Amino acid sequence: MNRKRCGWRIVSLFGLLMFLTTGCWDAKDIDNRMMVGVMGLEKSSGSDINVWFRFPLPKGTLAMSEKDFFTMSQYGQTVSDAMNKAKYKLPKALDPSSTRAILVDESLAKSGIEPYLEFAVRERSVPLDAVVAIIRGDMERIFTRTNPTGELSGIYTKLFFETYAGGVPRKNKTMLWEVYAKLYNPFHANLIPLLTEGRQNSFVLAGNAIFVNDRIVGELNKDESLLYEIFTHRFHDSEVELMSKSDIRIVNNHSRIKTALQDGKPIIRIDCSLVTTLIDSSRSRKQNAPQILAELESDLNKHAKSMFEKTQREGADVFGFGDRFRSRLKPAEYEKWPEMFKRAEISYTFHIDLRNTGLEFLD
């Protein structure tokens, strides 16, 4: 009997402990949070940083506000410091767990982005799949201007890059985890979208910023960015190539890359097959199919040449070719890859299948 009573007492004690240690006593209801939609990092005077926050407003508060968002900025020595100081100004808890995008000012990116993105990886407060982009323009105007399509704050930026929405290959969607991983990979440099302030829209794609370590050293224009997408197997959907007398849509591609190491010199061979369709042609200056193919191949070769010149000059392997040489190098040689990439021999060949040419091009 005593054993049974002792057993029931132990069970009751464990039940009481479970009751006391469960529940949501430390949680904050969603209506008591300020959910960050998009975050902006801007260089300030000295070593300080100015952090911009844009919060979507719930429908219940829209009647009292003309905008569907609320914007604020806060200075701090670090991003975490600015976020902590911002909490003293807000009536609700600041919650960055729903951040869709991080926009980095170009001047800050030229001085180095690693110290300002480290907080997100260490603290895990910002989703690692948040989109990262470089901003050339007035950060304040971008954050305070209403989105023209009426999307909720942050969602507009996310949809701008998403393949299921406004994303096209040249936009080169880049996520936070990719940026941070490449900062510590000597074989793969970062290439991050570069946006300029728009007049009608919030921003416009200008190209893609080339990084060495954590600093901008150059940029690819939109045509060169298309070749980057094709060579790195990131190409999706379809993309239009505008030429002097016709317009071509690239609907599919397959790139085969072969590498070798000869006397310490990287050899990279790219064989690219493209499936294209003719979508428009000039009525005043007509071309036949071989002429269109020749012009398209000439344009692609020109873009590829300028793209590789820019990246090799800086030793910025944004293509990740170095990962193919990792097993051929000793660990002590990994850090030498940027210099090896500068003198790499890179060649490329295009095989183009042109379709939908119409009856006028038949012999």
**Which domains are assigned to the chain?**
29-220 (no CATH), 221-363 (3.30.300.210)
pLDDT recorded at residue 361: 47
Q: Is the pLDDT of residue 363 over 50?
A: no
The CA distance from 60 to 64, in Å, is 9
pLDDT recorded at residue 135: 94
pLDDT band at 310 (very low <50, low <70, confident <90, very high): very high
pLDDT band at 125 (very low <50, low <70, confident <90, very high): confident
**Greater model confidence, 102 or 18:** 102
Q: Quick one: what percent of the chain has pLDDT higher than 70?
A: 81
Q: Is the pLDDT of residue 362 over 50?
A: no
The CA distance from 113 to 102, in Å, is 12
Q: Write out pLDDT tens, residues 244-280.
A: 667 788 888 899 999 999 998 999 999 999 998 888 7
pLDDT band at 308 (very low <50, low <70, confident <90, very high): very high
Q: Is the pLDDT of residue 347 over 90?
A: yes
Residue 222's alpha-carbon distances to 104, 105, 209, in angstroms, are: 20, 20, 11
Mean per-residue pLDDT of the chain: 84
Among left, alpha and beta (phi > 0; psi -120 to 50; other), residue 172 is left
Query: Ranked by mean pLDDT, which of 22-31, 326-335, 351-360 comes out on top?
Result: 326-335
Segment 35-48 shows an average pLDDT of: 87
pTM: 0.85
Segment 275-301 shows an average pLDDT of: 80
pLDDT band at 351 (very low <50, low <70, confident <90, very high): very high
Q: Write out pLDDT tens, residues 198-216.
A: 777 778 899 999 999 999 9
